[in-house]
Amino acid sequence: MTAYSPLSREQLSRRIASDLPDGSYVNLGIGMPTKLARCLPSDREIILHSENGILGMGPGGDEITDADLINASKEQISLLPGASICDHVVSFTMMRGGHLDITVLGAYQVSADGDLANWDTGTPGAIPAVGGAMDLAAGAKQVWVMMEHVTKKGEVRIVERCTLPLTAARVVDRIYTDLARIDVTPRGLVVRAMVPGLAREELQRLTGAPLHFDERVDALSA
Amino acid sequence: MLDKTVPSIAEAVRDIHDSATVLVSGFGASGIPTELLVALLEQGARDLTVVNNNGGNGPLGLSQLFLAGRVRKLICSFARSANPAQPSAAAFAEVYRAGKIELECVPQGIMVERMRAAAAGLGPFFSPVSYGTALAAGKETRVIDGKGYVLEQPLPGDFAFVKARHADRWGNLTYRYAGRNFGPVMCMAAKTAVVQVDEIVPLGSIEPDHVMTPGVFVQRVVQVDTQGTAR
For chain A (222 residues), the mean pLDDT of every run of 10, in chain order, is: 88 97 95 88 96 94 92 91 98 98 97 97 91 96 98 97 97 98 97 97 98 96 86
Say yes or no for a CB contact (<8 Å) between A67 and B128: no
* Position A4 in a domain: no
For the stretch B13-18, contacts whose Cβ atoms lie closer than 8 Å and that sit 24 or more positions apart, written own/partner, are: B13/B39, B13/B40, B13/B43, B13/B194, B14/B43, B15/B192, B16/B40, B16/B43, B16/B45, B16/B48, B16/B158, B16/B159, B17/B45, B17/B158, B18/B45, B18/B46, B18/B47, B18/B48
Whole-angstrom Cα distance, residue B155 to residue B188?
11
Quote the number of domains for chain A. Answer: 1
Q: Is residue A65 part of a domain?
A: yes
Domain with A33 in it: 9-219
Q: Is residue A2 part of a domain?
A: no
Establish if B128 touches chain A: CB-CB under 8 angstroms.
Answer: yes
pLDDT, position A60: 87
Structure confidence at residue B114 (pLDDT):
98
Asked if B66 has any chain A CB less than 8 Å from its own CB, the reply is no
User: Parallel, antiparallel, or unpaired for β B190-200 and B157-167?
Assistant: parallel
What's the rounded Cα separation, in Å, for the pair B22 and B41?
Answer: 13
Q: Is the pLDDT of residue B44 over 50?
A: yes
Say whether pLDDT at B171 is over 90.
yes
Beta bridge pairs of residue B149: B142
Burial grade of A64 (CB within 10 A; 0-12, 13-18, 19 or more): middle
Looking at the complex, report in whole angstroms how far the Cα of residue A167 sits from the nearest Cα belonging to chain B: 6
Per DSSP, A38 falls in state: G
Task: Kindly report, residue by residue over B135-152, the tens digit of the pLDDT.
Answer: 999 999 999 999 999 999
Hey, is B190 helix, strand or coil?
strand
A 10 A CB-CB count for A1 gives 8
Q: Does A105 touch chain B (CB under 8 A)?
A: no
DSSP B16: P
Measured between alpha carbons, how far apart are the two ends of chain A, in Å?
Answer: 23
- Percent of chain B at pLDDT > 70 equals 97
CB B193: neighbour CB atoms within 10 A?
27
Q: Which pLDDT band, with edges at 50, 70 and 90, does B198 fall under?
A: very high
- Cα separation, A196 vs A209, in Å, equals 22
Using an 8 Å CB-CB cutoff, list chain B residues near A130. Answer: 77-78, 105-108, 135
Best of A27, A32, A87, A93 to disrupt the B interface (most B CBs within 10 Å) is: A87
Using the Cβ of B137 and the Cβ atoms of chain A, whether some distance falls under 8 Å is answered with no
- A84 burial class (0-12, 13-18, 19+ CB within 10 angstroms)? exposed
Residues of chain B in contact with residue A68, where contact means CB-CB under 8 angstroms, are 30-31, 176-179
Which residues share a beta bridge with A219? A194
CA distance B60 to A62: 24
What number of CA atoms fall less than 13 Å from residue A13's CA on the CB side?
Answer: 15
Alpha carbon distance A113, B223 (integer Å) = 54
Q: What is the pLDDT of residue A2?
A: 66
- Cβ neighbour number for residue B126 with a 10 Å cutoff: 15
Is residue B228 predicted with pLDDT exceeding 70? no
Crossing angle of helices B108-119/A88-96, nearest 10°?
120
Helix (H, G, I), strand (E, B) or coil at B38: helix
**Distance in angstroms (rounded) separating the CA atoms of residues A192 and B41:** 57
- Paired strand residues for B76: B105
pLDDT for the residue numbered A30 = 85
Q: Any idea what the CATH number is for the domain that residue A74 is in?
A: 3.40.1080.10
**Interface list for A 18-77 with B (CB within 8 A):** 30, 50-54, 64, 66-70, 73-74
pTM of the model: 0.95
Query: Would you call A138 and B128 a contact, using CB atoms and an 8 Å cutoff?
Result: yes
Whether the Cβ atoms of residue B133 and residue A165 lie closer than 8 Å to each other = yes
Please determine, for residue B230, whether its predicted confidence score (pLDDT) is greater than 60.
no
Q: Decide if A97 contacts A195 (C-beta within 8 A).
A: no
The pLDDT assigned to A185 comes to 98
Nearest-10 Cα torsion for A162, A166, A169, A175: -60
Judged by a CB distance cut-off of 8 A, whether residue A134 touches chain B is yes
Please check whether residue A212 lies inside any domain of the structure.
Answer: yes
Question: In Å, how far are B42, B166, B183, B195 from B222, measured between CA atoms?
Answer: 17, 10, 15, 6
Q: List phi, psi (to 5°) of B193.
A: -95, 120
Q: List CB contacts (< 8 A) between A66 and chain B.
A: 177
Largest CA distance in chain B: 57
CB-nearest to B30 from A51, A70, A130 is A70
Question: Which residues on B lie below 8 Å from A139 (Cβ)?
Answer: 128-129
Asked about A75 being catalytic, the answer comes back as: no
d(CA B135, CA B198): 38
Domains and their CATH numbers in chain B:
19-105+156-223 (3.40.1080.10)
Q: What pLDDT shows up at residue A73?
A: 85
| Per-residue confidence band for B229, with pLDDT thresholds at 50, 70 and 90 | very low
Flag whether A3 is in a domain: no
Task: Choose, from A45, A51, A75, A160, the residue flagged as catalytic.
Answer: A51
Cβ pair A140, A102 in contact under 8 A: yes
Instruction: Determine the average pLDDT of the residues in B2-19.
Output: 98
